[in-house]
């Protein structure tokens, strides 16, 4: 987009909430048109608020991909829940996601109770329609309308195929106020490069060794001093809670950490438009999910 926005230009913030693994991150990536949030079928993969930015000639939607709201078992879980809840009254529209291919359960109803407590406009999204029959999607819409409180709109969609996404965009845009561009055209996220590096390495570790890798890993990245070779260099530290978990992350002969690094580097080079070098280390940070000091230091 070039020039100043017209008077009718609409902009605002939209929070995506729901129980874990309902497709929030996948939907953010689809709406933005680029990968700004990591995706995994492991619950509670998203741990922070991730902003994705969708800009068109008529609107700018700033999307907040929030952690899945769940029954916490650690201090980290309590903090991620608090992050998700805190967005509800601070945005222009709330999108509550439920799955088309799973019955509405206590977790969905709990999230709905939180959503109903704010005056923010609300859209109920039935996601993953590609995994359910037409009749099942219709039944889920009826169940949601009857059992989850009042919403301003109900939208079935598939983030994988794109079906229904335009309808959601229309519902969101119609509820945004007239406003400015918060981010310049072409910006798809406000996350720093180090955050994207750390998150992509974590995603690839979860994919490479699904059963072996503990979900309690976290990844921290720092940019290293530039050299005269046009390569972006990062030190990546993978933290585990137990000494026994270290070998799982490294893998036999370094196979797991090498495969994850190779896959992450390929996506990062496409994202950054530059060569990327990762220096990866695995360290033990005992019980980091349960210690306030460790969570503060790690940005949680």
Same domain, 44 and 93: yes
Q: What pLDDT is attached to residue 297?
A: 63
- Domain range for 251 is 193-298
Global confidence as pTM? 0.74
Q: What pLDDT is attached to residue 47?
A: 46
> How would you class 236 by CB atoms within 10 Å of its CB: exposed for 0-12, middle for 13-18, buried for 19 or more?
buried
**Cα Rg for the chain, rounded, in angstroms?**
20
Residue 96, in any domain of the structure: yes
The one-digit pLDDT tens for each residue of the chain (300 residues) are 444 444 589 999 999 998 888 998 899 999 999 888 767 655 445 445 678 899 999 999 999 887 656 455 665 556 666 666 677 878 999 999 999 999 999 889 988 988 998 899 999 999 999 999 999 999 889 888 888 989 999 999 999 999 999 999 999 999 999 999 999 888 888 888 888 899 889 889 888 876 666 566 888 899 988 776 789 999 999 988 888 888 888 888 999 999 999 999 999 998 888 899 999 999 887 766 666 665 666 565
Q: What pLDDT is attached to residue 6?
A: 46
> 256, 208 in Cβ contact below 8 A?
yes
Residue 186, in any domain of the structure: no
CATH of the domain at 239: 3.30.300.20
Same domain, 150 and 256: no
Residue 83, in any domain of the structure: yes
Residue corresponding to tokens 């799973």:
102
Q: How far apart are alpha carbons 184 and 73 in whole angstroms?
A: 40
Report helix, strand or coil for 277. strand
Helices (H), 102-192: 106-116, 134-147, 165-175
Domain boundary among 143, 175, 207: 175
Query: The tokens of 213 are what?
Result: 């890798």
Same domain, 16 and 154: yes
> 80, 67 in Cβ contact below 8 A?
yes
CATH of the domain at 84: 3.40.50.300
Same domain, 113 and 213: no
> How would you class 281 by CB atoms within 10 Å of its CB: exposed for 0-12, middle for 13-18, buried for 19 or more?
exposed
Same domain, 149 and 203: no
Domain boundary among 123, 146, 175: 175
Same domain, 115 and 203: no
Same domain, 240 and 163: no
CA 76: distance to chain centroid?
16
Residue 180, in any domain of the structure: no
Domain boundary among 117, 149, 175: 175
In 3D space, the residue among 64, 39, 43 whose CA is nearest the CA of residue 216 turns out to be 43
First-to-last alpha carbon distance for the chain, in angstroms, is: 35
Residue 112, in any domain of the structure: yes
Q: What residues form DSSP beta bridges with 96? A: 17, 124
Query: The tokens of 211 are what?
Result: 């059963």
Same domain, 201 and 158: no
Residue 214, in any domain of the structure: yes
Q: How many domains are contained in the chain?
A: 2
Residue 41, in any domain of the structure: yes
Same domain, 44 and 70: yes
Residue 233, in any domain of the structure: yes
């Amino acid at each position: 987009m070039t020039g100043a926005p017209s008077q009718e230009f609409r902009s605002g913030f939209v929070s995506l909430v729901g129980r874990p693994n309902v497709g929030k991150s996948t939907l953010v990536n689809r709406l933005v048109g680029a990968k700004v949030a990591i995706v995994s079928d492991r619950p509670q993969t998203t741990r922070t608020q991730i902003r994705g930015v969708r800009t068109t000639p008529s609107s700018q939607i700033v999307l907040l991909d929030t952690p899945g709201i769940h029954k916490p078992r650690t201090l980290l879980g309590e903090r991620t829940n608090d992050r998700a809840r805190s967005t509800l009254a601070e945005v222009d529209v709330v999108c509550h996601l439920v799955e088309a291919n799973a019955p509405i359960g206590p977790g969905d109803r709990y999230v709905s109770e939180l959503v109903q407590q704010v005056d923010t406009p609300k859209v109920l999204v039935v996601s993953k329609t590609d995994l359910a029959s037409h009749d099942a999607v219709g039944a889920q819409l009826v169940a949601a309308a009857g059992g989850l409180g009042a919403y301003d709109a109900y939208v079935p969609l598939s983030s994988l195929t794109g079906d229904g996404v335009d309808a959601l965009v229309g519902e969101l845009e119609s509820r945004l106020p007239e406003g400015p561009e918060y981010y310049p055209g072409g910006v798809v996220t406000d996350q720093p490069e180090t955050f994207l590096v750390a998150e992509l390495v974590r995603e690839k570790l979860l994919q490479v060794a699904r059963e072996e890798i503990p979900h309690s890993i976290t990844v921290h990245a720092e940019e290293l001093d530039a050299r005269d070779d046009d390569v972006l260099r990062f030190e990546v530290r993978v933290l585990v809670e137990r000494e026994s978990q270290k070998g799982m992350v490294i893998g036999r002969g370094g196979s797991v950490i090498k495969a994850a690094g190779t896959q992450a580097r390929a996506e990062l080079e496409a994202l950054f438009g530059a060569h990327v070098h990762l220096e990866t280390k695995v360290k033990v940070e005992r019980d980091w999910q349960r210690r306030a000091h460790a969570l503060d230091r790690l940005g949680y």
